[in-house]
Amino acid sequence: MSDLFAPHLSEDMAAKRPLADRLRPKNLAEVTGQEHLTGEDGVLRRMIAANSIGSMIFWGPPGTGKTTVARLLSGETGLAFEQISAIFSGVADLKKVFESARTRRLSGRQTLLFVDEIHRFNRAQQDSFLPVMEDGTVILVGATTENPSFELNAALLSRARVLTFRPHDAESLETLLQRAEAVEAKPLPLDASARESLLRMADGDGRAALTLAEEVWRAARQGEIFDPDGLSRIVQRRAPVYDKGQDGHYNLISALHKSVRGSDPDAALYYLCRMFDAGEDPLYLGRRLVRMAVEDIGLADPQALVICNAAKDAYDYLGSPEGELALAEACVYLATAPKSNGVYTAYKAAMRAAKENGSLLPPKHILNAPTKLMKGEGYGDGYLYDHDQPDAFSGQDYFPEKMGRQTFYDPPERGFEREIRKRLDWWAKLRRERAGKM
């Protein structure tokens, strides 16, 4: 098969192409890291074998082979390949591509239209694909690094299958480095630890791994072997793959929250520092810690909310970088505190009851009666002032009569809520005793 990616370059020019470009797979069997799609039993292999290629959305991080696989797919199915980028294309460009595809279809050949960064198209532009997908003018393959559920129209998603491209693991990145060494006919001048560091720096991005390898080869002097520190000096450091408005943001805050909830202070600190390192707003993290205090610790440790608010104020007062330590302290406190979602669960149950039961009048005995008319209606009749009762507890029912008494809050036997449980059990006992005497 000819090189689909640079078919007209001379031998000399081809040798000067970037390493990542020279190492592009020539067929699906050469694709590494996406065996669940391109392997012998992969989804795409099955589609090709069944001669049933439909529209697809390729979703995955950068450098995982989305563009390469789309090109190879067209080559292995005989489909004409058209490529546009949503960054540089508009409605006029789409119309030209659609017209070319219609003309091509009249001669009996279908078109695979690859749209890079498809999430960059607005809703109306995305809708323009629907007719040509439905009538078979094009088989759409859209590539996106963003979650399709959030970024693409439901109508478009209903007509396309979403295939997920996974970040390269260390094994598939190592395969790429070995291929690079074979093409360059020389080993990477890295010791074992530095090689592992390079794989970590690539952060699952195959193209980044090969670019880093090129930088190492360019920088190395005759006989020089780099250790991890030397590697860091040569390539500086790749910024973490993180977008404060997109999946990287939500994935890490989810990991932080669940690590706190799971009482793992080490993992919680790690994800907190990941987000600091990626440039997340520390006050956003302070707000999230406050949320964790009320959702996952609650009254099991009432000090949790106090400490989180104090940490937020400390960051406000100190600023960066000193203020981050206060947030780290709050994070560790939350992770090591007793956990309870008792109040959170009670709140949701009470809110549900409030919505379902409408505007029921509270029982008249707990209503104030500031006017004669209201007194005549029985407002306030029979109310018992708790402080004047034995144990400062009257045991009266405060729910609307049509609802009857409800139980929303059920504190667990953990932390401070163990004491709350004792009080509630004691009051329930008194309530039963006084109800029995009535």
- The angle formed by the CA atoms of residues 14, 16 and 17, to the nearest 5 degrees, is 70
In this structure, what token pair is assigned to residue 100? 């070319």
Q: Tokens 């694909």, residue?
A: 129
pLDDT for the residue 4: 44
Residue 342: inside a domain: no
What is the CATH number for 393?
Answer: 1.10.3710
Do 124 and 194 share a domain, yes or no? no
Do 68 and 140 share a domain, yes or no? yes
- Last residue within a domain, chosen from 164, 181, 204: 164
Cα gap 194→229, rounded to integer Å: 8
Residue 353: inside a domain: no
**Distance between first and last Cα of the chain:** 93
Range of the domain at 301: 247-336
Cα gap 51→61, rounded to integer Å: 28
Q: Decide: 66 and 165 in contact? Cβ < 8 Å.
A: yes
* pTM score above 0.75: no
Do 31 and 107 share a domain, yes or no? yes
pLDDT for the residue 427: 92
Do 179 and 225 share a domain, yes or no? yes
Cα gap 302→379, rounded to integer Å: 36
Do 138 and 229 share a domain, yes or no? no
- Last residue within a domain, chosen from 235, 258, 291: 235
What is the CATH number for 99?
Answer: 3.40.50.300
Do 289 and 407 share a domain, yes or no? no
pLDDT for the residue 426: 92
Residue 117: inside a domain: yes
Do 327 and 370 share a domain, yes or no? no
Do 23 and 155 share a domain, yes or no? yes
Q: CB within 8 A of 262, min separation 6: which ones?
A: none
Cα gap 247→119, rounded to integer Å: 13
Give the Å distances, CA to CA, from 401 to 10, 315, 357, 407, 433: 88, 49, 12, 15, 21
- The angle formed by the CA atoms of residues 315, 255 and 157, to the nearest 5 degrees, is 120
User: Does residue 383 sit in helix, strand or coil?
Assistant: coil
Phi and psi torsions of 275, nearest 5°: -75, -40
pLDDT for the residue 243: 59
Residue 19: inside a domain: yes
| Regions of the chain short of the pLDDT cut 70 | 1-16, 237-247, 437-438
User: Does residue 195 sit in helix, strand or coil?
Assistant: helix
Q: Considering only CA atoms, which of 297, 248, 306, 238 is closest in space to residue 274?
A: 248
Q: Decide: 33 and 172 in contact? Cβ < 8 Å.
A: yes
- Last residue within a domain, chosen from 134, 164, 194: 164
Give the Å distances, CA to CA, from 181 to 32, 174, 199, 202, 380: 16, 11, 15, 17, 88
pLDDT for the residue 418: 92
Do 207 and 252 share a domain, yes or no? no
- CA torsion 344-348-354-355 (nearest 10°) is 150
Do 160 and 177 share a domain, yes or no? no
Residue 191: inside a domain: yes
Do 49 and 160 share a domain, yes or no? yes
Do 127 and 256 share a domain, yes or no? no
Residue 258: inside a domain: yes
What is the CATH number for 212?
Answer: 1.10.8
Residue 418: inside a domain: yes
Q: Decide: 176 and 209 in contact? Cβ < 8 Å.
A: yes
What is the tally of structural domains in the chain? 4
Task: List b or e across 130-151, with b for residues whose CB sees 16 or more CB atoms inside 10 angstroms.
Answer: eebbeeebbbbbbbbbbebeeb
Beta strands in 145-298 (DSSP E): 161-164
Per DSSP, the residues of 31-52 read --S-HHHHSTTSHHHHHHHTT-
User: Does residue 226 sit in helix, strand or coil?
Assistant: strand
Residue 84: inside a domain: yes
pLDDT for the residue 182: 94
